[in-house]
Amino acid sequence: MSGAGGRNKPVIVLVRPQLGQNIGKAARAMLNFGLTEMRLVAPRDGWPNPDAGPAASGADIVLEQAQVFATVDEAIADCSTVFASTVRRRDLVMPVLGPEEMVRQITASPGPSAILFGPERSGLETEEVALARAIVTVPINPEFASLNLAQAVILLAYEWSRHGEFAQPPAKDLEAPAPHTEIDGMIRQLDEELAAKGYFHPPSRTQATKNTIRTIFTKTGWSSREVKAIRGIVRALVGPPRRR
Amino acid sequence: MSGAGGRNKPVIVLVRPQLGQNIGKAARAMLNFGLTEMRLVAPRDGWPNPDAGPAASGADIVLEQAQVFATVDEAIADCSTVFASTVRRRDLVMPVLGPEEMVRQITASPGPSAILFGPERSGLETEEVALARAIVTVPINPEFASLNLAQAVILLAYEWSRHGEFAQPPAKDLEAPAPHTEIDGMIRQLDEELAAKGYFHPPSRTQATKNTIRTIFTKTGWSSREVKAIRGIVRALVGPPRRR
């Protein structure tokens, strides 16, 4: 996921893409700006898709190397900085960034990063957006917001490439943020312990509360070491007092 | 050609466009970023073109207001600052700008400005490029330069809008970080609960462990609302299971 210049290239994750043609167009958009790593989550028509190649106009290498995953969780398991691309307002209190600030955070991240794009029609589900550190939104005409998938990809890829010559090397003394799987494990531990305490009530609010907790713990930027510490803290809090 | 904010909106000039579909896509690309004035020079299949409307995805106003000209000269007759969009090198000694510098010159121009885009296959003729003040080129992967007409339009329109037309996403979604006293209160609560559980052991390590906890919880950037949520979570974890 690092480029020739050592710069952190974001992974482009297409979540449940519907048309093979749009997957090809997204690949073409990516390669124009030097992005090469595409991941597909449950593409509707399976993979490989014969419609993708012609639409890629020669960006075959991106399609050939594309990896397929069953869930968003698996697709971003190794990524420590994840953004969700959406123009829609969400019932989630989480940071909303413009493309430029997203690129700044990708460049500053010592670990791999990813950008999630939802299906053509519906966009990302709320639970999928909640997996990200922040929402990224292209500032657009409020009276005519009509970006298709490949256009959203090309604008963010362009923004990424714009900053090439100004890239700052990641600070070495900064601990890398923990990968998604570790954050996720911590959150699930917390969810389980809170459920055991009867914290989630009423049931109609459970999912919203869980999304809030996920958002709170996803934005921290904690390292693996810090995640371990938090897990130990949660165990200590729920356990009986230790005698020494 | 001036926007609501009085800013100089560039005219988009499509020179001898071939497919009606691409004219529609260009209109859609433009309106996403607030550009509304399209001029067509000798469109191959005449005008209006029935393929343009469906491809515009609702950007009909751009198509309806599009003006048709026989030559580039006539299309830019009232424009004082003209750019030629092309990725190809030309046998012409003239300035080559990136999108950002083009936007700066458009914004600084007291008169109307225009950006020329050539036909899908062949691009602008040398004589047409020579009518412009400068060539504008999107910096692109030298090993895979494959922008179609609508993509070239959307990237330059986006660059134009980046500099002020549309506000960045409202920052009110982003809650302000909690003041230090609230973070401090949360950390002290946690310290007390952990001490009650016998977490700090051995005593010689207690201060170092407390410092680590403080560092972990200080870097989160949590809002007051989030700090309250964490305090509730800690209370729930140490308390007895709640009966409902």
Q: What does the DSSP assignment read for B176-239? A: PBPPHHHHHHHHHHHHHHHHHTT-S-SGGGHHHHHHHHHHHHHTT--BHHHHHHHHHHHHHHHS
Residue B225: what are its φ and ψ, rounded to 5°? -60, -40
d(CA A108, CA A10): 12
Per-residue pLDDT of chain B (244 residues; tens, 9 = 90+): 444 345 789 999 999 999 999 999 999 999 999 999 999 999 999 999 999 999 999 999 999 999 999 999 999 998 888 999 986 555 677 788 899 999 998 988 878 899 999 999 888 998 898 888 889 999 888 888 889 999 999 999 999 998 876 655 444 446 777 877 888 899 999 999 999 998 998 888 888 888 888 878 877 878 888 899 999 999 999 988 876 6
Contact B201 A242 (CB under 8 A): yes
Contact B234 A237 (CB under 8 A): yes
Q: Give me B122's structure tokens.
A: 């062949």
CB-CB neighbors (< 8 A) of A222 in chain B: 216, 219
pTM score of the predicted model: 0.80
B-chain residue closest to A89, CA distance: B173
Contact A140 B166 (CB under 8 A): yes
Residue A29's pLDDT band, with cuts at 50, 70 and 90, is very high
What part of B 164-193 touches A (C-beta under 8 Å)? 166-170, 173-175, 190, 193
Contact B238 A238 (CB under 8 A): yes
Q: Is A21 on the interface with B (CB under 8 A)?
A: no
Q: What does the DSSP assignment read for A19-42? A: -HHHHHHHHHHHHHTT---EEEES
CB-CB neighbors (< 8 A) of B233 in chain A: 190, 194, 199, 213
Kindly give the residue spans of alpha helices, DSSP state H, lying in A72-142: 72-75, 99-108, 126-129
Q: Give me A21's structure tokens.
A: 């043609």
User: pLDDT at position B213, please?
Assistant: 87
Highest mean predicted confidence (pLDDT) among A3-7, A53-57, B1-5, B127-131: A53-57
Across chain A, mean pLDDT equals 88
What part of A 201-230 touches B (C-beta under 8 Å)? 201, 212-213, 216, 219-222, 226, 229-230
What part of B 80-99 touches A (C-beta under 8 Å)? none
Contact B168 A139 (CB under 8 A): yes
**Chain A interface mutation, best of B101, B155, B160, B206, highest count of A Cβ atoms under 10 Å:** B155
Give residue-wise pLDDT tens across range A111-168. 899 999 999 988 999 899 989 999 999 999 989 988 999 999 999 999 999 877 433 4
User: pLDDT at position A125, please?
Assistant: 92
A142, burial (CB in 10 Å: exposed 0-12, middle 13-18, buried 19+)? exposed
Compute CA B204 distance to the chain's CA centroid, rounded to the nearest angstrom: 53
Q: In terms of Cα–Cα distance, which of A8, A10, A40, A3 is closest to A149?
A: A40
- Name the β-bridge partners of B14: B40, B117
The count of CB pairs under 8 A between chains A and B is: 158
User: pLDDT at position A168, please?
Assistant: 40
d(CA A6, nearest CA chain B) in Å: 16
Q: Give me B198's structure tokens.
A: 């016998």
Highest mean predicted confidence (pLDDT) among A9-13, A192-196, B130-134, B192-196: A9-13
Compute CA A239 distance to the chain's CA centroid, rounded to the nearest angstrom: 34
CB-CB neighbors (< 8 A) of A240 in chain B: 197
Tell me which DSSP letter residue A71 carries: S
Q: Give me B109's structure tokens.
A: 């121009």
Q: Is B154 on the interface with A (CB under 8 A)?
A: yes
- Name the β-bridge partners of B11: B114
